Structure 1
Amino acid sequence: MSLTRPDIDIHPKTFPASALKARTYDVVVIGGGPAGLTTSLRIAQGGFTALLIESELVGGECLYWACVPSKALLRASEAIQNVTSVGGAREKLELLAKKYGVPARPEVDLDGLWARRDMFVRRWQDDSLVNEIHGAGVDTAHGFGRLSGVRKVEIKDWHSGNVEEVEARHAVVIATGSAPLIPQIDGLENSKYWTAREAVSAQKVPEHLIILGAGAVGTEMATLYNQIGSKVTLIAHSILPKVVPQAGNMIQESLGKAGVDVILGLELVKVNRTDAMVEAVLSDGSVVKGTEILVATGRKAQITGMMLEQFGGPIDGGWAKVDDSMCVSSVPEGWLYAVGDLNGRALMTHIAKYQAKLAANSIIAKAKGTYQREVSLNFWNKLTAKPTGLAIAQSIFTDPQIAACGLTPEQATARGMKIRVVSVSMSDPGSMLHAENYQGWAQWVVDDAGYLIGATFVGRDAVDLLQASTMAIVGKMTVEQIWHVTPPFPTMSEVYTTLSEAVEAAVSDVEKL
């Protein structure tokens, strides 16, 4: 199995539960990632007491092992690509290369890259963050928290084994996130495989990295390690199966051109490991030999040992079912909440924070006795996720980047919806000025009433184009309304004009029939 870097202490001895000055809080939160942090801070801002329990480092997966370090690592190559794709800057680099005998395309400095990552992840230490939380009025405890009764939580110290029990007056919020889903493959368990944790905390570049799985983690790590010097082999059923096919095809083509060996349609059936080599045996009998293997085959709810089953909840990786205020559906008394990855609605940090605010607002409203009145006031109250609907935004930092929200054409069709789909290349002046020979693509999905219900953008720096489409979907805007929103010239957001005109042309063509 995988091994976290030995120089990173994921179970600090600081802030033990035995040092807590109180044993009863208004709200007890289990899990100190983005969801738990946001919940506890918002509870404190509302004038209530909160205890945050974290089994590892306060800050969670996103800060130390996922979004933050991966984007910190990917950004260096992106910056170099941006410079070398713009006339004037590119020629200057070529002149300097001739003068000093260095490559015209600068290489990433690995020491600088690791240092930048280490800065953003706070060098895998949470003391300063915990002190900030204390300053905001939230108590914390390091240890494994689990439900021990109605509104009761046990905290087990990792080092001493001692158990302390605390109680919540109003609610317990579980925000323990997700963990890697590791497939059952002969030899894999003993292969010292990498997960995303090892991939983003590495201190050296493997000579040959084999990656199993081509979702967001697999394709981003293939992009990163290819850019910083590894030979990369990517093994998967398909590339980015949850995005529109055109986007996945563009990433597959880009990875191939960059030198990544992409193997699709074959199963990994066995892994053999020696000290210096890992062998991946595929279903056709072929063997891929590398120095490390990264498993990126999905995530499961991190719920084992939480004792949710005593309240009708799932066990062993199952997703917790919640209502639109993130209250656990199997607990009618309304005191138990599950926010973030744990409920399986959308495994993304920004969604976790959004859900956390909904849950905290609901808990506060219930404590004040105003919940039912606030829910009934209007559709846009801040106690329910109903306005969000299907407008879940996601960004994938491959080269090119992918940004998407709402429904894909395939998802909309499967729901029996009548839709109109328009796809355009990003060839407007803003994109061309951004980089020579800019290669970009965009798609809108519109329902039969004219509402925007899905959007995808593919291209360098395309992730920043998505928010306007997400707002339009959440705000239930029609393409007729969006037509009047004129983007500034010359910017990459001009693609919105191109998309609007494509919808207009498609409607006109239908009317001519």
Structure 2
Amino acid sequence: MTVQEPSPEVQRPQQLETDVVVLGAGAVGENAAGRVAQGGLEAVLVEPNLIGGECSYWACMPSKALLRPGTALQAARAVAGSREAVTGTLDAAAVLQRRDSFTSHWNDSAQEDWVRGEGIGLVRGRGRLAGPREVRVEYDDGGTVTITARHAVVLATGSVPTPPPLKGLEGIDYWGTREATSAREVPARLIVLGGGVAGTELSQAWARLGSKVTLLARHDVLDMYPEPARELVKAGLAEDGVEVRTYTQPDFVRTGADGCVEMGLDDGSVLAADQLLVSTGRTPALANLGLEDLGLDAALDSGRLTSDDSGLVSGTDWLYVVGDAAGRVLLTHQGKYEARAAGAAIAARSRGELSASSAPEDWSREASTANHAAVPQVVFTDPELAMVGRTLEQARADGINASETSLELSVAGSALHSDNYRGWAQMVVDEDRRVLVGVIFAGPDVSELLHSATIAVTGEVPLDRLWHAVPAYPTISEIWLRLLEKYGL
């Protein structure tokens, strides 16, 4: 089904009908619509902004494009023979230009071509639920179209920042993550408020581009990770000149006499900077979607919709929620995974192969079962953190008889990778079943180790069998052997 954006002189249709309507054409919405189309159904994407969404233009891609040049430069400096060839610093203008190429200069025409090439309809406008299986879309010029879905409506509307209740913040022209990943100039001084993944990554990126960065964290930096992993990242930040202040609470923020940003802290000190970046979390973007008009706000639990593993919202047989909008795991790759499961479930239910009254079977194509116990995630700082599954504390809180085995990441492959390589690794074992339930790596380039860990955790590979998975020599993957040896195999 093709829904073209008409020229102003062409009258738009006021009514459309299709099999599935997907609100939100980010990476998650695209995957939902694509999987629906693969299942033989018609789908229409509704999007008021750029197709490709946050990940393509303001999050995953531009942030990693900002980080990679500094990491590459540091990698060259970390090896004798190549460090002598390094004669300069990062070219900030070239880094920003390369960043722009990865966002397609904030032009989504290629994404639009993909949508249409897949036979997916596209309506550019802001959608709102108007009834069961019915969406009303308002164009920017005020015109409207009502789209009726024969089978399902999918909410893939993403998430929005949650700024803190900080005195004076509403009067400051500050950066969110969008502004930080699309900025055109390097601020001389930058305050970063928030010690989570985005805050730490962007602190290092802008510090390596030449900014004097102060990172403020209410608790510890990356406090969802074990302490040895956190300490390695903090050491890396310090080496790049980032001043990290943990367990710090801001009291106020204001514009200084010279136009700079001034932030007062709970210890009475005042920081000054040319720019403030606020990165204190995100929440599902569910406002103004018409949920309350349909009584669906009753399905909201702590700001997110309750749903089964196919994304089907509780109390409905037609509404699905996936990705950040679902509020389960706010990671692009998991959102795309949820979208694939939802699309497969919608197609199966349309054929009568799966009922709306029963949840899909675990580990079927219609269920995002991995969300419960096998989520991979990476912090792309230098050094990197890569984790899948549960930490020791999480495993024990879930009632698992868990043990941990950890050691410094020091093998022949890491020594060859860079001089004075510093890393750490941990595996968490379910002692009753003798399988891995969590793995964490910290160190340069450890993200490339993560998928092997994800397979082991997701596949519940027995440790006695995992011992026979021989790591190639000399690679950093030899850490698997060292962990198993220390465990006692």
Q: TM-score range by the shorter chain?
A: over 0.9
CA distance in 2, matches of 1:398, 1:295: 18
Partner of 1:32: 25
Gaps (5+ residues) in structure 1? 1-12, 94-103, 506-513
Residue in structure 2 matching 1:476, options 460, 466, 478: 460
Residue 324 of structure 1 and its aligned partner are, at CA, apart by 0.8
Matched, 1:330 2:312: no
CA distance in 2, matches of 1:18, 1:190: 42
Alignment length, in residue pairs?
A: 478
Partner of 1:52: 45
Matching residue's letter, 2:308: D
SS at match of 1:280: strand
Residue 312 of structure 1 and its aligned partner are, at CA, apart by 2.4
Matched, 1:176 2:157: yes
Residue in structure 2 matching 1:88, options 75, 81, 88: 81
Residue 163 of structure 1 and its aligned partner are, at CA, apart by 2.0
CA distance in 1, matches of 2:300, 2:47: 19
Matching residue's letter, 1:207: A
Matched, 1:42 2:26: no
1:79-118 CA distance string (max 9 Å, x none)? 111111122222334xxxxxxxxxx3x3111221111111
Residue in structure 2 matching 1:218, options 191, 199, 214: 199
1:295-347 CA distance string (max 9 Å, x none)? 0100011111011232423679811211011111132xx21000001111100
CA distance in 2, matches of 1:364, 1:412: 35
Q: Does the 8 Å contact 1:15/1:140 carry over to 2? A: no
CA distance in 2, matches of 1:294, 1:20: 43
Larger displacement relative to structure 2 (223-232 or 19-28): 19-28
Q: Does the 8 Å contact 2:151/2:318 carry over to 1? A: yes
TM-score (structure 1 length as normaliser): 0.89
CA distance in 2, matches of 1:144, 1:315: 22
Residue in structure 2 matching 1:293, options 252, 257, 276: 276
CA distance in 1, matches of 2:265, 2:481: 47
Alpha-carbon spacing, 1:14–1:424, altered in 2? closer, same or farther (3 Å):
farther
Matching residue's letter, 1:176: T
Q: What does 1:85-234 correspond to in 2, within 5 Å?
A: 85-93=78-86, 104=87, 106-158=88-140, 160-234=141-215
CA distance in 1, matches of 2:451, 2:143: 47
Larger displacement relative to structure 2 (460-469 or 473-482): 473-482
Partner of 2:16: 23
CA distance in 2, matches of 1:271, 1:316: 32
Matching residue's letter, 1:353: K
CA distance in 2, matches of 1:195, 1:171: 34
Partner of 1:76: 69
SS at match of 1:494: helix
Matched, 1:304 2:287: yes
Gaps (5+ residues) in structure 2? none
Cα RMSD, aligned residues only? 2.1
Q: What does 1:233-244 correspond to in 2, within 5 Å?
A: 233-237=214-218, 238-244=220-226
Residue 70 of structure 1 and its aligned partner are, at CA, apart by 0.4
Partner of 1:492: 476
Partner of 1:447: 430
Alpha-carbon spacing, 1:18–1:118, altered in 2? closer, same or farther (3 Å):
farther
Matching residue's letter, 1:319: R
Residue 504 of structure 1 and its aligned partner are, at CA, apart by 1.3
Q: Does the 8 Å contact 2:310/2:359 carry over to 1? A: no
CA distance in 2, matches of 1:317, 1:203: 37
CA distance in 2, matches of 1:406, 1:146: 36
Matching residue's letter, 1:340: G
CA distance in 2, matches of 1:464, 1:118: 25
CA distance in 1, matches of 2:85, 2:280: 43
SS at match of 1:444: strand
Q: Does the 8 Å contact 2:13/2:145 carry over to 1? A: no
TM-score (structure 2 length as normaliser): 0.93
CA distance in 1, matches of 2:95, 2:144: 41
Matched, 1:347 2:330: yes
Q: Does the 8 Å contact 1:379/1:387 carry over to 2? A: no
Matching residue's letter, 1:457: F
CA distance in 2, matches of 1:20, 1:79: 52
CA distance in 1, matches of 2:359, 2:267: 60
Residue in structure 2 matching 1:411, options 394, 414, 425: 394
Residue 276 of structure 1 and its aligned partner are, at CA, apart by 2.9
Residue 162 of structure 1 and its aligned partner are, at CA, apart by 2.0
Alpha-carbon spacing, 1:116–1:504, altered in 2? closer, same or farther (3 Å):
same
Larger displacement relative to structure 2 (168-177 or 125-134): 125-134
Q: Does the 8 Å contact 1:303/1:317 carry over to 2? A: no
Q: Tell me the percent identity.
A: 40
CA distance in 1, matches of 2:216, 2:348: 49
Alpha-carbon spacing, 1:32–1:20, altered in 2? closer, same or farther (3 Å):
farther
Q: Does the 8 Å contact 1:389/1:474 carry over to 2? A: no
